[in-house]
Amino acid sequence: MARLHVGLAFGIAVFLLLVVAGVTASKQPKTVDVKMANNKISRPIQPTVATKIITVTQVVGYTTKTEDSNSLDKGQTKTVQTGENGSETLTYKLTYTSGKQTSKMLISTDVTTQPVQEIVEEGTYITPVSTPSSATNTPNTSAPSLSCHPVSNEGTCYRAGEYCRESDAGTTGVAGNGESIICEDNDGLRWEPN
């Protein structure tokens, strides 16, 4: 009988201890109930952690380089090499905790295709100014027949941007390239596109 009382007292003490511990315990992580021979034991669920490696390809933009060229008239441009975008591959390590992504870390960057630089020439050529001959202001009649008019004192065709004679002020003509021009005061008398 004494054994029964001791066993009963021990069981009640354990029960009370469990009740008090359950009431005063701080918030615990989620638990899973596992049955072991009619007794329940609770243990916390461990989060699952998984990693994954991914690669992403992205565009690498090209740059443009401008070079002076005296073979082009000032203000003109010409693309001598067309730019092309390149590409690079980025490798990331992703970490998932309990199925949700918790981190993303860049592991490597590899240029898979180099971009091609665009090269643009910018004109610097300025047509030399024709100065009237001091001997005469009449056109050279021995010059070959030109489709432009008026012709310079040297018998050559004018181009837009060249200085013109005072006697040509306000007149229109045709440049050597067939462009219609007019002699106007633009920081001095010049042939301008008409």
Task: Kindly write down the DSSP assignment for every residue of 118-162, as one continuous string.
Answer: EEEEEEEE-PPPPPPPSS--S--TTSPP-SSBSBPTTS-B--TTS
The predicted model scores a pTM of 0.41
Q: Regarding the domain delimited by 49-125, which CATH topology (the fold level of the hierarchy) does it fall under?
A: Resuscitation-promoting factor rpfb fold (2.20.230)
* Residue 178 token pair: 């067939």
| CB within 8 Å of 50: residues ≥ 6 apart | 95, 96
Cα 74 to chain center, whole Å?
29
pLDDT at residue 73 above 70? yes
Report the alpha-carbon distance of residue 74 to residue 58 in Å, rounded.
Answer: 38
Domains of the chain, residue spans: 49-125, 127-194
Please tell me the distance from the alpha carbon of residue 70 to that of residue 27, in angstroms, as a whole number. 81
Task: Measure the CA–CA gap between 152 and 70, rounded to whole angstroms.
Answer: 23
Minimum mean pLDDT among 25-29, 72-76, 96-100, 104-108: which range?
A: 25-29
Most confident of 1-5, 16-20, 75-79, 187-191: 75-79
- In Å, how far are 66, 91, 175 from 77, measured between CA atoms? 9, 41, 20
Looking at per-residue pLDDT, the higher value among 72 and 19 belongs to 72
Which among 77, 75, 78, 79 is positioned nearest to 160, based on CA atoms? 75
